[in-house]
C-alpha cells in the first residue's frame, strides 16, 4: 500500500473557491488529499486576531490535520468578492502574509504558503504575485 499525502487548506467557506484550491494543491503540491478548514474570511481573523475562539478552532483543526494525517503543507487562502472579508486585494494579500505569521507562531513543522483567488477563480501563489508587483515598480 502506497503512502498517501495530505495538505491542508485554511480557506473561506465560499463554495466558489473550494474546487480551484483543491485542484491547484493536488497539481502543484502532489497531494492526494486536501484537508479543508473553512470559515467565512478566515484570513481576517488570523491576521487581525479579532476572534480568539475562531483562531483556536482553526488551530485545533490544523493540529488534527498535521498530527493525524501527517499534513506537511498549509495553504492560507483569500479570494476576490469575499462576503466574510469584503476588502480589496492588497488588503487581503497583507492579511494572508500576517495569517502565515500567525500560523508559523503556532510552531507546526509544515510549510506554509499563501494563495489568492482572482475574479476568474484562478489560483495565484502569493510570493509569485508579490514578485510580479515588485518587478513592475
**Can you give the residue ranges of every domain in the chain?**
6-136
Choice between 21 and 131, residue whose per-residue pLDDT is larger: 21
Do the strands 33-39 and 6-12 form a parallel or antiparallel pair, or are they unpaired? parallel
Query: Please, what is the Cα angle at 96 between 6 and 108, to 5 degrees?
Result: 45
pLDDT of 76 > 70? The answer is: yes
Choice between 124 and 2, residue whose per-residue pLDDT is larger: 124
Distance, first Cα to last Cα, the chain: 51
| Per-residue pLDDT tens over the stretch 31-75 | 999 999 999 999 999 999 989 999 999 999 999 999 999 999 999
DSSP H helical segments within 70-125, as ranges? 89-105
Prediction pTM value: 0.90
The yes/no answer on whether domain 6-136 falls in CATH 3.40.1050.10 is yes
pLDDT of 135: 47
> Would you give the distance in Å from CA 79 to the centre of its chain?
10
| Total residues belonging to the chain | 137
Tell me the sheet residues that pair with 123: 117
Amino acid at each position: 500500500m502506497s503512502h498517501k499525502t495530505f495538505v491542508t487548506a485554511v480557506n473561506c467557506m465560499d463554495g466558489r473557491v473550494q474546487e480551484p484550491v483543491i485542484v491547484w494543491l493536488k497539481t502543484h503540491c502532489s497531494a492526494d488529499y486536501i484537508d479543508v478548514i473553512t470559515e467565512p474570511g478566515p484570513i481576517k481573523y488570523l491576521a487581525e486576531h479579532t476572534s480568539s475562539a475562531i483562531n483556536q478552532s482553526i488551530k485545533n483543526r490544523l493540529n488534527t490535520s498535521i498530527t493525524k494525517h501527517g499534513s506537511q503543507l498549509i495553504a492560507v487562502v483569500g479570494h476576490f468578492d469575499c462576503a466574510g472579508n469584503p476588502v480589496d486585494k492588497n488588503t487581503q494579500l497583507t492579511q494572508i502574509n500576517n495569517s502565515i505569521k500567525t500560523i508559523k507562531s503556532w510552531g507546526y513543522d509544515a510549510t506554509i504558503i499563501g494563495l489568492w483567488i482572482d475574479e476568474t477563480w484562478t489560483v495565484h501563489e502569493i510570493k509569485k504575485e508579490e514578485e510580479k508587483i515588485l518587478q513592475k515598480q
